[in-house]
Amino acid sequence: MSAHSNYRELFDTAKRGGAKDWLPHLKIAAIEQFEAVGFPTTRDEDWHFTSVTPIAERTFRPARSSGTTLTAEDIARFTYGQEDWHLLVFVNGRYEPALSSFATLDAEVQVMTFGEALKEAPELLAERLGTLAPAQQAFTALNTAFMADGVVIHVPKGVALEAPIHILYVTDAQASGASLHPRTLVIAERSAQATLIETFTTLGGGAYFTNHVAEVVVGDNARVDHYKVQREGAEAFHVGTTQATQGRDSIYHAFTFTTGAQLSRTNVYSKLLGTNAEVRLNGLYSLEEAQHADNQTFVEHIAPACSSREVYKGILDGSSHGVFNGKVYVDPQAQQTDGKQTNHTLLIGDAARVDTKPQLEIFADDVKCTHGATVGRLDELAQFYMKSRGIGAERTRALLTYAFAAEVLELIELEPLKLALEGLLFERFIPPEPV
């Protein structure tokens, strides 16, 4: 029996409302779409370098929602020490109010779990959910079919949310062999501002599969900063898709930090629909052993006079395999587009491999678009210089590697997060100084 029909069976056994209601309707359409397209193969251009066979050959049952034994102490290490941030904790895909904490929210700002949103703002949900994410893609369809819980954030016109919202997805041993399909919907109305951090991690979760979808609406003159920290377990699988749409004069800044999962794929897509909008998509992937991480970005310049900036860096150790595919599309109407994209990969491991594919598709003439990609090892000159200053070879390599990665972290504007991620890298690359 194929994995597709297994998911159909799992879908059919789940309880849901009548097909007339919009949500079950959406889900049924999604499972049908999933059945029609199936899991992508390496024959699909978008998945040429990433085989999802390890995911497709198993059937991950939807995670069960039994009570968790995790305590606030257990998860403290994932909260970046920020008590004034709004924190929503999901354990094995299920919201845990006991572990979550809400600092006082502006009365008009809505931060809801899916269940709450269905009760409190059903119109909003019905109107927006599933309208952004590329429903034709298999993993998005699978998420829509199985999404059980998630977060809805609605920031009204002109409101600037002061404290960042941190959504922490953590799994424990119960999640082994299970699939999680969390969903995020962010709506920032005109001139609104919000910062969102999504962290994916585990406490002994084993081989589970996270399939996350986020939809972000950035209204005119609004700004959303969206950080994704993917530190899944070593045996885990992670597929994530973020789709943003941007209005006039808006700013969307996404940063993707990837160190986890044996196999991961992270898509960050933005559609620039209003003039003068700005998008920045940055990322860092640091892999070791036999990890495989695939980052895909897609910027669609639909409106004129928008700018896009992308910097992705990768450090590949062991026999890890990194993939980067950055697409920039410029519509015939999108004159005065200013696009710049770079991807730099450092190969450390003897058997490490990288496949990078920056891509430009340009249909307008008054544009300025560039991309650059480099693959290489540490600069010999820099190493020589360090040596001449009396620093040992091993430490030189460690410092230069760390510096290579830290450079892209500088693009993170949320100071505590930047420091925390720098700390993680420091631990990873810099051995303690010999006494």
Partner 1 sequence: MSSQIESLVNKEYQYGFVTDIESDAIPPGLTEETVRQISTRKNEPQWLLDWRLKAFKRWQSMTEPRWPNVTYGVIDYQAQTYYSAPKSVKPLQSLDEVDPELLKTYEKLGISLNEQKRLSGVAVDAIFDSVSVGTTMKEELKKHGVIFCSFGEAVLEHPELVQKYLGSVVPYSDNFFAALNSAVFSDGSFVYIPKGVRCPLELSTYFRINAADTGQFERTLIVADEGASVSYLEGCTAPKRSTNQLHAAVVEIVALDNAQVKYSTVQNWYAGDKDGVGGIYNFVTKRGKAFTNSKISWTQVETGSAITWKYPSVILQGDNSTGEFYSVAVVNNKQQADTGTKMIHIGKNTKSTIISKGISAGHGQNSYRGQVKVLPKATGARNYTQCDSMLIGNQCGAHTFPYIEVGNNTATLEHEASTSKIGEDQIFYCKQRGLNAEHAISLIVAGFCKEVFKELPMEFALEAQQLLGISLEGSVG
Q: Which residues bind partner 1 (CB under 8 A)?
A: 45, 49, 316, 332, 335, 345, 347-377
**C-alpha gyration radius of the chain:** 21
The least CB distance from residue 171 to partner 1, in Å, is 33
| In the complex, minimum distance from the CB of residue 378 to partner 1, in angstroms, rounded to a whole number | 10
Q: Give the nearer residue to partner 1 in terms of CB position, either 179 or 356.
A: 356
CA-wise closest residue to 142 among 207, 45, 66, 59: 59
How many CB atoms are located within 10 Å of the residue 56 CB?
16
Whole-number minimum distance, CB 400 to partner 1, in Å?
A: 14
Q: How far apart are the first and last CA of the chain?
A: 60
Nearer to partner 1, 219 or 339 (CB): 339
SS3 content of the chain, % helix, strand, coil (to 5): 25, 40, 35
Please identify, using beta-carbon distances, which residue of 44 and 410 lies nearer to partner 1. Answer: 44
Q: How far apart (Å, rounded) are the C-alpha atoms in residues 135 and 141?
A: 6
User: Nearest distance from residue 78's CB to partner 1, in Å?
Assistant: 32
Q: How far is the CB of 130 from partner 1 (least distance, A)?
A: 30
Minimum CB distance to partner 1, residue 101 (Å): 45
Contacts of 324 (CB under 8 A, 6+ apart): 294, 295, 296, 312, 314, 343, 345, 354, 355, 356, 357, 358, 373
11 CB-near residues (< 8 Å, 6+ apart): 27, 31, 145, 146
**CB-nearer residue toward partner 1: 68 or 345:** 345
Judged by CB, which is closer to partner 1: 198, or 317?
317
Read out DSSP for 340-385? EEEEEEEE-STT-EEEEEEEEEE--SS-EEEEEEEEE---HHHHHH
Helices (H), 156-237: none
For the stretch 425-434, what's the b/e string if a residue is b when 16 or more beta carbons lie within 10 angstroms of its beta carbon? beebbeeeee
The C-alpha atoms of residue 148 and residue 129 are separated, in whole angstroms, by: 13
Q: According to the 3-state scheme, what is the secondary structure of 138-166?
A: HHHHHHHHHCCCEEEEEECCCCECCCCEE
Q: 57-80 burial, b if ≥16 CB within 10 A, otherwise e? A: eebbebbeeeebebeeeebeebbb
> 226 vs 327, which CB is nearer to partner 1?
327
Nearest in space to 39 (alpha carbons), one of 128, 115, 140, 154? 140
Nearest approach, Cβ of residue 328 and partner 1 (Å): 9
CB of 20 to partner 1, least distance (A): 41
Closest CB to partner 1 among residues 361, 407: 361
Between residues 43 and 119, which has the closer beta carbon with respect to partner 1?
Answer: 43
In the complex, minimum distance from the CB of residue 326 to partner 1, in angstroms, rounded to a whole number: 11
Nearer residue to partner 1 within complex by CB, 214 or 328 = 328
Q: Which is nearer to partner 1, 59 or 337 (CB)?
A: 337
